[in-house]
Structure 1
């Protein structure tokens, strides 16, 4: 009886809150919305992938919607003028993230960079990550690592092709090896997957294990965020899974830090080894541990682990998914593949492996990647924002405590903005002038505003290098029927079936491939 009484009180409280919001909202000029049902709100309308369901609602009711999922209010934005409104005049108001069950468990008490409230802590972390990882100077210094990792991948593919004739490549695993190894070496100077393990079961096992640790099967938001009462009852063990995954992550990150400390224990502050390392770009972990010695109260172990975790979570899955999508589209559109190969052959040649300094000579390569990001944005619903004050978007009143979701997928497929949006046409980006503010807020695969992804240039370099080198060195064909089906894994748009392709070394590249 006691449990039933408490449940009844909670449900009655939720109903009263909902009714009070409904009556108060009538006095505001809220954006349009479909009919909301009691308690569940508009959740009954989400019957397929959420980004596609929201796009359908936007087609019917307009590009700015005000929806309610359970006890939470959402502003759904699907047009460039509304996005510009959100992240220019309302950028500070919307510079926070909503509190969710996932961020409660994964954000190190909201100290991690992606989830931290907008303020001094967030600004310090953004400045640190930009300076150490994503500034132009940092990207130039870390280019040698990315080039070395793609050289290792190409060398492994060449070795496998010599052993087995034509080699069948699992692009999901190959992209995972390249991105995880690149990020790990930038952070610590070490690799996850050794060269002899690439293309084998051991390499696949390591990549799958890393994905399990860093991503698990956890979504950014779930039903417990819409109905908090379910959290009290441990609904489907969701929070228990999060707690166990976070514990696994901490153990893994502590092993990385302990191993780094052990490896570098022989260097004193003024040793010759340290002087040699100062001439090079120090691994990011070394910089973080040095800062910890200077300010241990601020640079705690939790803060350092949260930065490392952010790099892996934000910088690997979306990048590897994009690499797989680009190559899939290349095999589906051979005329695009031939045009790209012609550009690479004429501007890079066959005497050396493509490197990052060559990328500026390959404008069509960038068009191909941009078009892939348009058709298959890696995060179709951008990370949510949260309004701390009332504001006005596209002429509508938006109450404080509203979660703002930008539907990048809907914007990238809007026929009013993009001619034949369902077609893959890289040439459309040849005629678009400039890339400031996402082509006037029409193209936003990395978000926009002050909480946009700071690692977009790193991601573009990784994708460009991987795709350019693979096209330069090998001929490719599908190993079976090509399918474009996509699904939303956690928050990332991925291929429903992994890409397996057959690669054959190009004859005019055999000489430099044999010398890699």
Structure 2
């Protein structure tokens, strides 16, 4: 069997080499492609640049090849955009042309080949999914309805940390408790449910499966099989694990959450006024025939990853930077005390009258962008970009991290300095009003979760700084902020221990 596979692989390689050379010659005559390293047959630039296409490696290539450059990764064309004008072209001016999503062999498994909202192609299905998800998840009404719940969850974190005797001496891994908080924040919205503790069996199952899903999807290990399809047989074991994790997750969502909401709704009149949580709205759309049950499950899959994990990463980064910059932490605490009064807990409406808190959040999102390459875009048809020809179905990466950390565009971007958003960059907002700063993207495929993420960040960071002096663990001067990148994510490599000394009011 192995010999047969080897024979087929070698024949496939020969055919692919021949085809690659022919296509390359034909395209070379009629297309003006972006610059980039010289590709070799079959492998393209893969052997030169490797699997790890993280934001820093791509920034280094941009310095060499320019603001738009092309990588041929096996059979895939990958175009990287690294300037505000070109980002505007991709995300806004030509938002329709570049509005689709490219997936890969693993994301195809986890999203049912684009049956969700985040990874579907631009078109009727995406418009329908976006419309159905917006009302129950992404409006000011949702913020007004749920912000007291977010405040209660943040206070519960404060209370648990105060009650932990080790927190003020040896320190605790604060992320673990914040993770429970984020699940409760989003499961309140989705299912009108919360988990009582970090030991809740259902919470532990969800956390484990979602964590495994993130690890498998964000890993660079499978890129070779995605770039070069004839190598995919070597990914059988990896893809089998992905399918098993996908099936277990969707079964968990269905058995423990969707079915329960269906039972509850069946005992009530069919009236929109009775819809209590987001999934009731989603199930109502299913009952009307607008979407099917698979779409419902993949909406839940999107929220579990996109809303919970990314916000949690940003909170974790923000706390780390405040620990490592005690003068910034003190300045923020002074603002909270001066505006709200010592001991008066911050609420969502308060976040709008705390400019330094807003600046700390903006700087965290700039300096430690959770999705530094945004979610990849794709053009379904041949397109033009910056005077270059972009072949159909090219993967377009906007290096949003480089846009926000380019020393030609920003004053000392390597420094964590919230004051920049009160001084020279005071006009810049996180909503994409400046194409140098796109933590949530902009345009048709921007992240709608901005409306939830910003207040949750403000409430959580605000309450922690109000109640504790946050310090490195004994014997350390600073926390380790080594980055761990993924396919397009950025989180901290090690979940750090932090000492939380309670304040006395």
TM-score normalised according to structure 2 size: 0.91
Contact 1:356 1:465 in 2 (8 A): yes
Q: Name 1:398's counterpart in structure 2.
A: 390
Q: 8 Å contact 1:379–1:493 — kept in the other structure?
A: yes
Match of 1:316 among 298, 304, 308: 308
CA contact (8 A) 1:82 1:393 kept: yes
Q: What is the deviation of 1:351?
A: 4.7
**CA distance in structure 2 between the aligned counterparts of 1:72 and 1:443, rounded to whole angstroms:** 28
- Deviation, structure 1 residue 166: 4.5
Give how far 1:386 is off.
1.0
1:454 paired residue number = 448
Would the alpha carbon gap of residues 437 and 269 (structure 1) be closer, same or farther in structure 2, given more than 3 Å must change? Answer: closer
Instruction: Decide whether the 8 Å contact of 2:351 with 2:458 is kept in 1.
Output: yes
Q: What are the ranges of 5 or more consecutive residues in structure 1 without an aligned counterpart?
A: 509-516
Structure 2 counterpart of 1:15, from 6, 14, 17: 17
What count of residue pairs does the alignment treat as equivalent? 494
In 2, Cα distance between equivalents of 1:377 and 1:126: 24
Distance 1:283 1:109 in 2: 27
| Structure 1 position 171 matched with structure 2 position 170 | no
- 1:339 has 2:331 as partner: yes
CA distance change for structure 1 residues 355 and 437 in 2, over 3 Å: closer, same or farther? closer
**Alignment check: 8 A CA contact 1:145 1:186 kept:** no
- C-alpha distance in 2 between matches for 1:99 and 1:358: 40
Q: In the alignment, what sits opposite 1:95?
A: 99
The alpha carbon displacement at 1:490 in A equals: 5.2
Alpha-carbon separation, structure 1, partners of 2:5 and 2:205: 46
Q: Which residue of 1 aligns with 2:228?
A: 227
1:246 corresponds to: 246
What residue ranges of structure 2 are gaps of 5+ in the alignment? none
Per-residue deviation, 1:71: 0.7
Q: Secondary structure at the match of 2:72?
A: strand
Cα separation, partners in 2 of 1:255 and 1:329, compared to 1, 3 Å: same
Question: SS of 2:186's equivalent?
Answer: helix
* 1:147-187 CA-partner distances (Å, limit 9, x unpaired): 221122122222225x8765723122122111111111111
Change in CA separation of 1:357 and 1:116 when aligned onto 2, cut-off 3 Å = same
Deviation at 1:142, TM superposition (A): 1.8
Partner of 1:493: 490
Following superposition of structure 1 onto structure 2, how do residues 59-208 of structure 1 map, counting pairs within 5 Å? 59-161=63-165, 166=169, 168-192=171-195, 194=196, 197-198=197-198, 205=204, 208=207
Change in CA separation of 1:348 and 1:300 when aligned onto 2, cut-off 3 Å? same
d(CA) in 2 for partners of 1:362 and 1:71? 50
Deviation at 1:364, TM superposition (A): 1.1
- Say whether the 8 Å CA contact 1:324–1:499 is kept in structure 2: no
Provide the secondary structure at the position in 2 that maps to 1:168.
coil
Contact map agreement 2:481 2:492 (CA 8 A) in 1? yes
Q: Indicate which of 283, 287, 296 corresponds to 1:293.
A: 287
TM-score, normalised to structure 1's length?
0.89
State how far apart, in whole Å, the 1-side matches of 2:127 and 2:121 are: 10
State which drifts further: 79-88 or 69-78. Answer: 79-88
Q: Matched residue of 1:129: which SS?
A: helix
Alignment match of 1:24 (pick from 20, 23, 26): 26
Q: CA deviation at 1:44?
A: 2.5
Match of 2:45 in 1: 42
Q: 2:54, 2:486 within 8 Å by CA — same for their partners in 1?
A: no
Is the 2:54–2:487 contact (alpha carbons within 8 Å) kept by the matching residues of 1?
no
Note closer, same or farther for the CA distance 1:393–1:444 as it changes in structure 2 (3 Å cut): same
Question: How many angstroms does 1:201 deviate by?
Answer: 10
Q: Match of 1:417, SS?
A: coil
CA separation in 2, counterparts of 1:122 and 1:417? Answer: 34
